[in-house]
Every structure is written in structure tokens, then in C-alpha cells.
Amino acid sequence: MCSLKHQPVPEKKVSNRRNISAKAVTRIVFVALILDLLAFTLILPLFPRMIEYYLVQELSHPSILSEILKFLNSLKPSSLQHEKWDTVLLGGVVGSLFSLLQCVASPIIGSLSDRGGRRRTLLLTMFGNILSCSLWLFASNFYIFLASRIVGGLSEGNVQLSIAIISDITTSDTRSRGLAMVGIAFAISFTIGPALGAYFAHFQADSLPTPFACSALIALGLLIIETLFIAYALPETMPKSQEIKQQTAVSESQTLELEKLGWIHFGHLLFFSGLEFSLTAYSLIIIY
């Protein structure tokens, strides 16, 4: 009898100017994603106090901030007596605006990466992230801060592009392991990032335009480092056009099945993320 030995799955090589392995590309994506998510999470615990800062600056005269707060107060339940309710809710609305714009921009960014390549599109979104963080750094009024969140939401494509890159370079046997690195990056960044944001917010200097500019400066530095790191280390992983045609040759039933799975995944994330963000908002109400 002949014995059957387990044959290891051959590791993909990424076709580019450097013959780099899929594992190396996964490590590059992992480091870049941690830098990006750290920069993203630095601002999360600062929303209520930032809103209070802009209220002090702008509430004495008519502004978009005062009009928004009037509208939010008109929605306030009579049974709710917490005086900071409108401030925390406005912070939640600003955070939700970022996510809503990201939802709108994500399909466009994905389509651009299919046509122009992952690396080029990722670098393009990074410049948008840097612009967003620069606006936050100099956001002396609520208009500029709101503009920074809009620009950031429209240009945030790192997570889906990271998933696309890992999907490009892995096989069906190694893809789950590669995508797990995305989840690990989220766990690390969302654990450390908010704490760092709150810590650096205590540092103030006369040369900085706002009390929260130190956290914005740290986030900007992380994004610049990430951009340089991607430009130097990340190769293009987009398969050639002929390979794409072979990989995407699926039947109509498979397409419908993928669409159904996509909607199920969307529903799961919608409720899970909503619960996660609601717990955060509730804790901020208690604290502030």
C-alpha cells in the first residue's frame, strides 16, 4: 500500500518589482492597519469635550452648531433630565456621519482599486486621511471640525482595501488566517487608541491651535508614517486581468448566494456595531 502524505499548500508569490511572499505582505498590511486604526480611535473619547469646547466658543452667536443643538433638544424626551444629553448625542451624530459617508464611499473606493490597483488607491485614500487629520489639527471652530469628519469619512478605505489585498495574495486554505489579522489589528487598536487619545488630550501648548490639538498631531504623525510605510513596503497585489477573469467566472446561483451572505453579514454588523457604539455613548453620558 502506498502512504498518503500531507502536501503543504504552496504559498503565493506576489507578482511585482520584488518577489515578496504572501506572509510578508500580510505582515505589512497588519502593521499599516494598526497605524491607521490607532489614528482613527484617538478621537473617540474626546467627542463630548470637543463639542463642549465649540459650544463655549460659538454658542454666544448664531452658528450651525447652535442650530443643530436646537434641533436635537426638540427631540429630547421629557423624561430625560440629563443636562449633557444634547452634547453627547451631537458627538454620536458626528461619529455616525463619518460612518455614513464611509458606507457611501466604500463601493466607489473598491471599484477604483479594481481598476487602478490596490496600492495606488490605498495611497490615494491615505492623502485624504492626512487632509482630514490636518483639518482636525487646526479646527478652531465647529465648521472646520465638521469638514474634517466629512473628508475623513469619504476617504476612509483602509479596512476594505486591506481585506482586498489579503484576498488577492492568499489561497482558500490560508485566507481565513490572513483575514484574522484584520480582526487582531482592530482589537489592538480599539484597546489602546482611545486611551492614548485621552492621555494626549491632557497635554496643551500655546503653540497649538486647540486644547485637543496634541491628540490630532499624534494621529497625523501616525498617518504620515503609515503612508510612507505603504509607499515603501507594500507591493501591488492586484492580479492580472486574465487572472481576474478566471477567478470571477462564477455561476448566477453562486452570485445570488454571495449577495444573500453579504446582506446577512451587513445585518449582523449593523446591529452589533450599533450595540457597541450605544454602550460607548451611554458610558460617556454617565462620565460627562
Average pLDDT score over residue span 235-241: 79
pLDDT above 50 for 17: no
Confidence tier at 269 by pLDDT (50, 70, 90):
low
The phi, psi pair for 125, rounded to 5°, reads -65, -30
pLDDT above 70 for 175: yes
Does 45 or 88 have the greater pLDDT score? Answer: 45
Which pTM was predicted?
Answer: 0.81
> 61-111, pLDDT tens digit by residue?
777 777 777 777 777 666 665 566 667 777 778 878 888 898 889 889 989
Q: Please report the pLDDT score of residue 93 as a whole number.
A: 80
Round to whole Å and give the CA distance between 29 and 224: 15
> 244-265, pLDDT tens digit by residue?
544 555 566 777 787 787 778 6
**Highest averaged pLDDT of the listed ranges 19-23, 44-48, 167-171:** 167-171
Average pLDDT score over residue span 162-180: 88
Residue positions counted in the chain: 288
Average pLDDT score over residue span 183-199: 90
Cα 280–chain centre separation: 17
The phi, psi pair for 13, rounded to 5°, reads -110, 135
Which CATH number applies to 20-68+83-240: 1.20.1250.20, 1.10.10.10, 3.30.450.40, 1.10.760.10? Answer: 1.20.1250.20
Task: Give me the long-range contacts of 192-199 (CB less than 8 A, separation at least 24).
Answer: 192/38, 192/41, 193/37, 193/38, 193/39, 193/40, 193/41, 193/42, 193/44, 194/41, 194/42, 194/44, 194/45, 195/45, 196/38, 196/42, 197/41, 197/42, 197/43, 197/44, 197/45, 197/46, 198/45, 198/46
